[in-house]
């Protein structure tokens, strides 16, 4: 059964794989494959590139960053030695006439199936689960009637450090390739970090890169010029018109890697060869050993099984079965995979090359680990806390290699530390994390609890005379970067966010006996509530912010940007206002912002730059934060509608941004149907509904979160599991299975009366229970049945 089939592809029945059947997709549909250390992007066209640790700081192979031409350059050519004709294992670069082309993107791997001139090829690319090595296992099968003599030639360019390598003509001079033992080994005599005395350009790159093959290499070259040919192209490289590669391997050219292996196949015969690419940190890892242990077909098969097992562990701890296959696919597999492989591990996508970790970004993302491995979330929290200054503020982001980052006047980033920490503790009951002693960027250390309190206290110093938090250089929306740089403008969203944060953090303070601070938080909550309700209510919604000059943003008074999404959704999420205003505000969201492809971030879009607001107004109207659907915030709209018990709107808000659903208008959507995009164009754009900046977006985790916690309504808190669905009334029910340590809970929710919310009865293993289920770890499987029903009164 093919799910969400379009002319370009479909999901396999369980949704765990997406199969592309036409290489001419509207955009490159890629897979970000990572083991948390070594990563690669695999495009459905067969091109891609690799990095280690961080894409921007430590690129291994080169690409050219041209979306339209998708001209990346890690290629495998297949050639018929008799006819001289050649094509490629992927569609790119040769783009030959084919009788089959099919690409399967899966969890941690991509498989390319191609048939040209009676030669069937299958290339499986993946990254070893535990080592900094990628494998490309290529199998050729002779499906013709005559014997064929073939060769396979790999080709890519080296970077070995920063990308973009903007001064290639300089940096290429320091790359030192060598061929030995059937492989190419490459060093770079120019590292990107200063030496012990702070001198730049005085170190080696700290790794050795390598590229090898499981079959004897017939010929090789490390010389781009002789491979491509001066003025040549990757489509028709000079080297493929020669019998053998040149064997040039010195420090005097533009370095590439190309290995050529040969095979003869009688009719019906097939044969596999594995190409390995990777790096070894000098003095810590052994490149020869890494190469040896990964360069065989046997190793490839074994490593692939290990990989599958690793992803099973991360994905299978939770399973949903609902009438909505899109929700199932995304929740069970792709949202988790995207958040982990793309955001937390690979830290890059096609459209954005990361420089490290965003302080609030990967904190939010780390919630994805709550189900399968809370220890990984714990680790992430501790890591972020160590990027805080003693004053309480934090690096807005930091380089994951080499350290450092910008210390900015962003007003919300620091608060995500206590917010996410409290969420973690609520779900795991791991109060011990609060006692972890953690360093500050600028010296000294304190417990995580104190780190969190310092962040809150720092924010307490940034209030307007009216009691609203100052927006500073910007809040959640980085592009509102001119609203309050004089520290006068206020953020209403930040007030709401802070209100919820304090409500959640309070119990931790109380529990620790920090009653003084708890009281302080309670006081601030009250004053926040007063101020928001007194100054921020605009009649039909809450304003978003005020500017340094006191002018409102997101008010009916404005000509453009009259209403902003976050100030309404977070009014509900934070519970900072009364039911009436919540209803009015969310009604405005429903009327004005909620569209077919999700809730718009604001309306109407800015048509001209507003230098007192910031660069969101500089985007084309309808694009990204300027009145487009910004998926991160659009996911929060699902949360808010669910809190309002507005199942129809919640489901509409969810369905519009759930990627598989966009298969029906895929030429409009353009982006991958299996991962969330960062944004999609709003109605004012001529390309309304076009998905942009897929993969590297914080929306993946939230899409998972709102599906599980707010549509299915499964929430874990203080040792209990709550079942509180807000679902479409036509759903007859759904199933949710989740492991807690060694124990499994199989939940079945039934909806015999076509309701959309309100659980009437809950049984655990056949026995009646309260609305909340106490979670035990007895190693058994428990069956929970919840039935929706009308309230008795």
77 binds its own copies (CB under 8 A): no
Residue 215 is a binding residue for its own copies (CB under 8 A): no
Print the SS3 string covering 108-121: CEEEEEEEECCEEE
SS3 629: strand
CA-wise closest residue to 626 among 511, 518, 479: 479
Using the rule CB under 8 A, which residue among 251, 271, 407, 668 binds its own copies?
251
Nearest-approach distance from CB 695 to its own copies, in angstroms: 12
Which is closer to its own copies, CB of 64 or CB of 120?
Answer: 64
Q: What is the rounded CA–CA span in Å between residue 344 and residue 32?
A: 11
Beta bridge partners of 103: 20, 112
Indicate the residue among 375 and 609 with the shorter CB distance to its own copies: 609
146 binds its own copies (CB under 8 A): no
Give me the phi and psi of 281, to 5 degrees please. -75, 125
Among 6, 35, 45, 663, binds its own copies (CB under 8 A): 45
Judged by CB under 8 A, does residue 235 bind its own copies?
A: yes
C-beta closer to its own copies: residue 204 or 587: 204
By CB under 8 A, the residues from 683 to 702 that bind its own copies are 685-687, 693
Give me the least distance between CB of 699 and its own copies, in Å please: 17
Query: Is 302 an interacting residue with respect to its own copies (CB under 8 A)?
Result: no
Q: Does 241 bind its own copies (CB under 8 A)?
A: no
Site for its own copies in 305-334 (CB under 8 A): none
Taking phi over 0 as left and psi of -120 to 50 as alpha, with beta for the rest, 443 belongs to left
- Note whether 551 binds its own copies by CB under 8 A: no
Task: Tell me the C-alpha distance between 612 and 489, whole Å.
Answer: 11
Stretch touching its own copies by CB under 8 A, among 193-201, 328-336, 376-384, 764-772: 193-201
CB atoms within 10 A of CB 621: 19
User: Is position 713 an interface residue for its own copies (rule: CB under 8 A)?
Assistant: no
Instruction: Give the interface segment with its own copies, choosing from 116-124, 223-231, 311-319, 656-664 (CB under 8 A).
Output: 223-231
Q: Does residue 659 interact with its own copies by CB under 8 A?
A: no
200 belongs to the binding site for its own copies (CB under 8 A): yes
d(CA 448, CA 454): 10
Residue 202 contacts its own copies per CB under 8 A = yes
Between 593 and 622, how does the x/- string for binding to its own copies read (CB under 8 A)? ----------------x-x--xx--xxxxx
Q: Is 250 in the site for its own copies (CB under 8 A)?
A: yes
3-state secondary structure of 562: coil
Selected binder of its own copies within 135, 176, 543, 775 (CB under 8 A): 176
Question: Residue 476: phi, psi to the nearest 5?
Answer: -45, -40
**Given its phi and psi angles, is residue 194 left (phi above 0), alpha (psi -120 to 50 degrees) or beta?**
beta
Q: Considering the rule CB under 8 A, would residue 428 count as an interface residue with its own copies?
A: no
Part of the chain binding its own copies (CB under 8 A), chosen from 172-180, 272-280, 424-432, 464-472: 172-180
Q: Which is nearer to its own copies, 254 or 361 (CB)?
A: 254
CB half-sphere exposure, 593, CA atoms < 13 A: 38
- Which of 189-197, 426-434, 490-498, 582-590 is the region at the interface with its own copies (rule: CB under 8 A)? 189-197
Determine phi and psi for 14, rounding to 5 degrees: -85, -5
Residues 57-76 that bind its own copies (CB under 8 A): 64-70
> Given the structure tokens 């209100």, which residue do they identify?
499
What SS3 state is found at 631? helix
- Cis omega before residue 411 (within 30°)? no
- Residue 13 CB, nearest distance to its own copies (Å)? 30
Q: Is 7 in the site for its own copies (CB under 8 A)?
A: no
Instruction: Tell me which residues in 352-391 interact with its own copies (CB under 8 A).
Output: 352-353
Q: Which stretch binds its own copies (CB under 8 A): 231-239, 326-334, 428-436, 552-560?
A: 231-239
DSSP string, 132-189: SEEEEEEEEEE-SSS-EEEEEEEEEEEEEE-SS-TTHHHHGGGEEEEEETTEEEEEES
Using rule CB under 8 A, residue 92 touches its own copies:
yes
Closest listed residue to residue 22, CA positions, set 659, 662, 667: 667
Task: Report in angstroms how near the CB of residue 186 gets to its own copies at its nearest.
Answer: 13
Site size for its own copies (CB under 8 A): 72
**Applying CB under 8 A, does 254 fall inside the site for its own copies?**
yes
Q: Does 164 bind its own copies (CB under 8 A)?
A: yes
Quote the least distance from Cβ 553 to its own copies, whole Å: 15
Q: How far is the CB of 71 from its own copies (least distance, A)?
A: 8
Piece of 251-259, 303-311, 363-371, 757-765 that binds its own copies (CB under 8 A): 251-259
Window 460 to 479, contacts with its own copies (CB under 8 A): 473, 479
The single residue among 38, 126, 158, 174 that binds its own copies, judged by CB under 8 A, is: 174
Residue holding tokens 């965003």?
358
By C-beta, is 245 or 762 nearer to its own copies? 245
* Nearest residue (CB) to its own copies, 141 versus 544: 544
Considering the rule CB under 8 A, would residue 421 count as an interface residue with its own copies? no
The tokens for 558 are 């404005």
Does 195 help bind its own copies (rule: CB under 8 A)?
Answer: yes
Least separation, in Å, of the C-beta of 616 and its own copies?
10
Element containing residue 288 per DSSP (H, E): helix 287-294
CB of 228 to its own copies, least distance (A): 6
Q: Is the distance from CB of 379 to CB of 462 less than 8 angstroms?
A: no
In the complex with its own copies, which residue's Cβ is closer, 392 or 621?
621
Q: Which residue, 43 or 496, has its beta carbon nearer to its own copies?
A: 43
Question: Rounded to the nearest whole angstrom, what is the least distance from the CB of residue 446 to its own copies in the complex?
Answer: 32
Asked if 710 is part of the footprint of its own copies (rule: CB under 8 A), the reply reads no
Task: Tell me which stretch binds its own copies (CB under 8 A): 96-104, 147-155, 247-255, 357-365.
Answer: 247-255
* Alpha-carbon span 444 to 452, nearest angstrom: 15
Look at residues 378, 344, 342 and name the one whose alpha carbon lies nearest to residue 362: 344
Helix (H) or strand (E) holding 531: helix 515-531
Nearer to its own copies, 147 or 201 (CB): 201
Q: Rounded to whole angstroms, how far apart are CA atoms 652 and 639?
A: 12
Question: Which part of the chain contacts its own copies (CB under 8 A), choosing from 164-172, 711-719, 721-729, 753-761?
Answer: 164-172
Answer for which of 31, 279, 364, 481 binds its own copies (CB under 8 A) is: 481
Nearest to its own copies of 350, 440 (CB atom): 350
Q: What is the DSSP letter of 415?
A: G
SS3 639: helix
| Integer Cα distance of 708 and 719 in angstroms | 17
Query: Are residues 517 and 508 in contact, defined by beta-carbon separation less than 8 angstroms?
Result: no
Q: What is the largest CA-CA distance in the chain?
A: 86
- With contact defined as beta carbons under 8 Å apart, do 652 and 597 qualify? no
> Looking at residue 301, what DSSP letter applies?
H
Helix (H) or strand (E) holding 38: strand 38-43
Question: Cβ–Cβ contacts within 10 Å for residue 457, how many?
Answer: 14
Q: Measure the CA angle with vertex 441, ends 435 and 446; round to 5°.
A: 20
256 contacts 227 by C-beta, under 8 angstroms: yes
Window contacting its own copies (CB under 8 A); options: 167-175, 314-322, 379-387, 502-510: 167-175
* Residue 230 interacts with its own copies (CB under 8 A): yes or no: yes
């Amino acid at each position: 059964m093919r799910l969400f089939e379009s002319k370009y592809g479909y999901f396999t029945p369980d949704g765990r794989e997406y199969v592309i059947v036409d290489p001419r997709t509207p955009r490159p549909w890629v897979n970000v494959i990572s083991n948390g250390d070594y990563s690669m992007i695999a495009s459905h066209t067969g091109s891609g590139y690799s990095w280690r640790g961080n894409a921007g700081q430590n690129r291994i192979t080169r690409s050219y960053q041209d979306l339209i031409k998708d001209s990346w350059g890690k290629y495998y050519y297949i050639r018929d030695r008799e006819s001289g004709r050649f094509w490629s294992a992927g569609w790119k670069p040769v783009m030959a006439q084919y009788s089959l082309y099919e690409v399967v993107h899966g969890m941690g791997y991509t498989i390319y199936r191609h048939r040209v001139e009676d030669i069937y090829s299958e290339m499986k690319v993946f990254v070893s689960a535990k080592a900094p090595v990628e494998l490309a296992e290529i199998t050729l099968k002779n499906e013709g009637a005559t014997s064929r003599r073939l060769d396979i030639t790999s080709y890519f360019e080296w970077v070995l450090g920063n990308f973009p390598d903007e001064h290639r003509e300089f940096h290429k001079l320091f790359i030192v390739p060598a061929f030995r033992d059937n492989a190419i080994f490459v060093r770079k005599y120019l590292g990107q970090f200063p030496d012990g005395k702070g001198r730049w350009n005085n170190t080696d790159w700290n790794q050795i890169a390598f590229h090898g093959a499981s079959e004897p290499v017939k010929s090789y070259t490390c010389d781009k010029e002789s491979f491509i040919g001066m003025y040549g192209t990757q489509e028709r490289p000079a080297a493929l018109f020669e019998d053998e590669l040149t064997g040039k391997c010195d420090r005097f050219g533009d370095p590439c890697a190309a290995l050529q292996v040969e095979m003869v196949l009688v009719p019906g015969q097939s044969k596999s060869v594995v190409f390995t690419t990777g790096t070894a940190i000098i003095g810590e890892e052994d490149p020869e050993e890494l190469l040896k242990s990964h360069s065989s077909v046997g190793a490839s098969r074994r490593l692939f099984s290990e990989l599958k097992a690793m992803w099973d562990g991360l994905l299978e701890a939770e399973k949903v079965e609902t009438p909505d296959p899109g929700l199932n696919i995304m929740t069970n597999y792709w949202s988790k995979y995207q958040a982990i492989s793309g955001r937390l591990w690979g830290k890059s996508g096609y459209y954005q090359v990361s420089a490290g970790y965003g302080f609030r970004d990967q904190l939010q993302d780390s919630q994805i680990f709550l189900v399968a491995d809370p220890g990984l979330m714990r680790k992430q929290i501790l890591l972020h806390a160590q990027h805080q200054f003693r004053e309480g503020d934090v690096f807005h982001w930091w380089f994951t290699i080499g350290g450092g980052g910008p210390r900015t006047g962003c007003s919300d980033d620091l608060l995500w530390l206590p917010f996410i920490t409290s969420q973690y503790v609520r779900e795991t009951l791991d109060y011990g994390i609060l006692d972890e002693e953690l360093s500050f960027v600028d010296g000294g250390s304190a417990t995580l609890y104190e780190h969190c309190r310092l962040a809150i206290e720092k924010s307490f110093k940034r209030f307007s005379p009216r009691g609203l938090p100052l927006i500073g250089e910007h809040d959640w929306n980085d592009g509102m970067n001119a609203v309050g740089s004089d520290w006068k403008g206020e953020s209403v969203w930040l007030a709401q966010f802070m209100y919820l944060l304090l409500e959640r953090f309070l119990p931790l303070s109380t529990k620790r006996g920090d009653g003084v601070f708890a009281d302080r938080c309670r006081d601030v909550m009250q004053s926040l509530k007063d101020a928001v309700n007194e100054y921020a209510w605009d009649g039909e919604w809450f304003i978003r912010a005020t500017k340094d000059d006191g002018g409102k943003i997101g008010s009916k008074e404005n000509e453009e940007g009259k209403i902003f999404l976050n100030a309404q959704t977070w009014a509900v999420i934070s519970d900072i206002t009364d039911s009436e205003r919540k209803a009015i505000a969310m009604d405005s969201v429903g009327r004005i912002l909620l569209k077919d492809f999700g809730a718009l971030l604001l309306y109407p879009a800015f048509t001209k730059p507003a230098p007192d607001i910031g660069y969101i107004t500089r985007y084309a109207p309808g694009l990204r934060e300027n009145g487009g659907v910004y998926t991160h915030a659009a996911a929060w709209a699902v949360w808010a509608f669910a809190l309002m018990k507005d199942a129809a709107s919640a489901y509409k808000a969810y369905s519009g941004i759930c990627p598989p659903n966009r298969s029906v208008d895929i030429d409009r959507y353009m982006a991958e149907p299996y991962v969330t995009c960062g944004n999609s164009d709003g109605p004012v754009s001529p390309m309304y509904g076009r998905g942009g900046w897929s993969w590297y977006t914080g929306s993946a985790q939230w899409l998972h979160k709102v599906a599980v916690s707010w549509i299915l309504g499964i929430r874990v808190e203080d040792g209990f599991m709550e079942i509180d669905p807000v679902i479409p009334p036509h759903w007859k029910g759904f199933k949710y299975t989740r492991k807690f340590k060694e124990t499994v809970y199989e939940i079945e929710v039934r909806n015999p009366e076509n309701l959309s919310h309100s659980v009437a009865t809950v049984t655990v293993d056949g026995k009646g229970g309260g609305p909340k289920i106490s979670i035990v770890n007895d190693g058994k499987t428990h069956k929970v049945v919840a039935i929706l029903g009308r309230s008795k009164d």
